[in-house]
């Protein structure tokens, strides 16, 4: 089996550009001429390389040779005429650029027409555009286009110390705040050459599983809702809100902001145990309720199929991958196994599989939460960082989160993060080709991908 592509990104050095390509078993480094930076594309071998390469082109002005798609990714129609991650860009003067129309990928032919959805939606989600080629109700092709809210996070963290960066990093994606914090904290312990104490790690992992449960509960409500059964959303939302309230009691914030810190915060362990016991009873009742509604499973089964072969080809992660039989989970380690982790998966790769997998993972998370409850521990709040580059992997509620930081003189020289959704968004169109456009919201929600995690 070929290496799995995890990330590909650029770094500007004083006299060259450096490109890091992260695989699951190796790291490739390429040095490019700063006056004429040209990079050979990997897109013919790794389909998801194309977004990484388009981003590098927008970020640094690196030309990509041999790619099947060199359109802008971040630079929308009037994006300023800048490469925002270049060292000579200081952000002090930014003006709209000339209008440059974007050419969507479309299918042509008799009776084929185009449907645009977004970027502004009738809801509270971030902007995202979905462009369909249609033949009647049948979806022939979908192009996903995001990155409307470019926030400049990578650039804004340059030159800051670890402590100054933390508040921004934990707010990159609200659904994954604790996962981002754990990745950042892991990098802190590496850079300060400290051990990650077991009790503190257990506490952080417990918070992460609470975050996962809250997110999965929201999903198992929205999926039936998008099949026309709103009662499921009401009940699951109630459970998700209860989890958020318990998270607030444990770490002082319902989204876990500032929850991953240097010591275990005091919390009522008996109350946590009582809560998860009651929550499990509610989820068991919910599962029995939903399983006994045939009309829902008529919508779920065989809808939005992603085969295992395609899931592997696109390097998918998280629920999207595991529902297609790809057994990949960053938690599949001796540490997690010792606290009750068991890798969950399904095989059919459809909406049904993604729904059932979330319920299985909720049960497993509850088991781990019980086992993670523990004692007190802390890490020294050191300020001396060893210069160098550090990487961390965390299994967020959406999938594998990858974070990279290079420190120089105790300050961040390059910060990069690859949200799991950056990978999984690219596979979404593969799930549409057998289905009608009315199934799009259902398929999309069954993957529940982050917009914010991509819009850095």
- Quote the pLDDT of residue 184: 96
Q: Which residue has better confidence, 223 or 123?
A: 223
What pLDDT is stored for residue 97 in this prediction?
Answer: 87
Average pLDDT on 217-224 reads 96
Paired with 437 in beta bridges are: none
* Residue 1: predicted pLDDT: 63
- Give the model's pLDDT for residue 417: 97
Position 199 scores a pLDDT of: 92
Q: What is the predicted pLDDT for the residue at 126?
A: 86
pLDDT at 279 over 70: yes
β-pair partners for 5: 23
Phi, psi (deg, nearest 5) at residue 198? -60, -45
What's the pLDDT at 125?
79
Selected residue with higher pLDDT from 371 and 265: 371
When pLDDT is cut at 50, 70 and 90, the band that residue 32 belongs to is very high
The proportion of the chain whose per-residue pLDDT surpasses 70, expressed as a percent, equals 100
Contacts of 104 (CB under 8 A, 6+ apart): 114, 131, 143, 145
Mean pLDDT to the nearest integer, 169-187:
95
Out of 94-103, 301-310, 399-408, 438-447, least confident range: 94-103
Q: Are 441 and 118 in contact (CB under 8 A)?
A: no
pLDDT of amino acid 154: 95
Whether the link from the prior residue into 316 is cis, omega within 30° of 0, is: no
The model's confidence at residue 266, banded by pLDDT at 50, 70 and 90, is confident
- pLDDT tens for residues 124-176? 778 999 999 999 999 999 999 999 999 999 999 999 999 999 999 999 998 89
Instruction: Give residue-wise pLDDT tens across range 46-69.
Output: 999 999 999 999 999 999 999 999
Instruction: Find where tokens 């529902």 sit.
Output: 323
Q: What is the mean pLDDT of residues 337-357?
A: 97
- Give the mean model confidence (pLDDT) for residues 285-304: 96
Q: Which domains does the chain have, with CATH numbers?
A: 1-103 (no CATH), 159-447 (1.10.645.10)
Mean pLDDT, residues 254-269? 91
Q: How far apart are the first and last CA of the chain?
A: 32
Long-range contacts of 275-283 (CB under 8 A, 24+ apart): 275/242, 275/246, 276/366, 276/369, 276/370, 279/213, 279/239, 279/242, 279/243, 279/366, 280/363, 280/366, 282/239, 283/217, 283/239, 283/359, 283/362, 283/363
118 pLDDT exceeds 80? yes
Comparison of pLDDT for 154 and 93, the residue scoring more: 154
Kindly state the average pLDDT of the residues 76-103: 89
Distances (CA, A) of 445 to 260, 300, 315, 320: 28, 12, 20, 11
Give the tokens for residue 240.
């998700």
State if pTM tops 0.85: yes
The per-residue pLDDT of the chain, averaged, comes to 94
Query: Would you say residue 95 has pLDDT above 90?
Result: no
């Amino acid at each position: 089996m070929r290496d799995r592509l995890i990330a590909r990104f650029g770094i500007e050095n004083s006299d060259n550009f450096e490109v890091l390509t992260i695989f699951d078993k190796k790291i490739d480094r390429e040095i490019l001429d700063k006056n004429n930076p040209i990079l050979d594309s990997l897109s013919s071998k790794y389909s998801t390389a194309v977004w990484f390469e388009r981003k590098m082109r927008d970020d640094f002005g690196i030309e990509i040779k041999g790619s099947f798609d060199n359109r802008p990714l971040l630079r929308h129609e009037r994006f300023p005429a800048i490469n925002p991650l270049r060292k000579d860009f200081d952000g002090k003067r930014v003006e709209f650029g000339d209008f440059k129309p974007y050419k969507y990928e479309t299918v042509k032919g008799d009776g084929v027409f185009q449907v645009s959805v977004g970027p502004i939606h009738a809801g509270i989600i971030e902007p995202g555009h979905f462009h369909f080629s249609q033949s009647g109700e049948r979806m022939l092709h979908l192009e996903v286009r995001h990155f409307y809210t470019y926030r400049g996070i990578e650039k804004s963290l340059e030159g800051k110390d670890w402590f100054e960066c933390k508040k921004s990093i934990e707010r990159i994606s609200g659904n994954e705040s604790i996962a981002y914090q754990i990745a950042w904290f892991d990098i802190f312990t590496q850079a300060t050459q400290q051990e990650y104490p077991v009790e503190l790690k257990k506490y952080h992992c417990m918070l992460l599983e609470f975050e996962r449960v809250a997110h999965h509960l929201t999903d198992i409500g929205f999926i039936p809702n998008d099949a026309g059964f709103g009662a499921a959303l009401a009940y699951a939302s109630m459970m998700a809100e209860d989890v958020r309230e318990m998270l607030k009691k444990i770490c002082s914030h319902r989204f876990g902001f500032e929850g991953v810190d240097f010591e275990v915060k005091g919390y009522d362990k008996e109350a946590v145990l009582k809560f998860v016991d009651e929550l499990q009873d509610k989820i068991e009742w919910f599962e029995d309720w939903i399983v006994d509604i045939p009309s829902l499973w008529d919508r779920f089964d065989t809808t939005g199929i992603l085969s295992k072969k395609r899931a592997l080809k696109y390097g998918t992660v998280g629920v999207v991958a595991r529902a297609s039989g790809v057994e990949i989970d960053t938690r599949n380690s001796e540490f997690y196994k010792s606290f009750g982790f068991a890798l969950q998966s399904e095989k059919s790769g459809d909406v049904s599989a993604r729904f059932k997998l979330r319920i299985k993972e909720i049960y497993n998370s509850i088991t781990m939460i019980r086992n993670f409850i523990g004692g007190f521990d802390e890490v020294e709040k050191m300020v001396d960082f060893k210069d160098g580059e550090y990487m961390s992997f965390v299994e967020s509620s959406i999938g594998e989160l990858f974070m990279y930081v290079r420190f120089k003189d105790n300050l961040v020289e390059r910060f990069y993060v690859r949200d799991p959704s950056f990978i999984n968004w690219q596979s979404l169109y593969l799930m549409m080709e057998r289905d009608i456009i009315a199934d799009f919201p259902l398929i999309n929600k069954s993957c529940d991908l982050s917009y914010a995690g991509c819009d850095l």
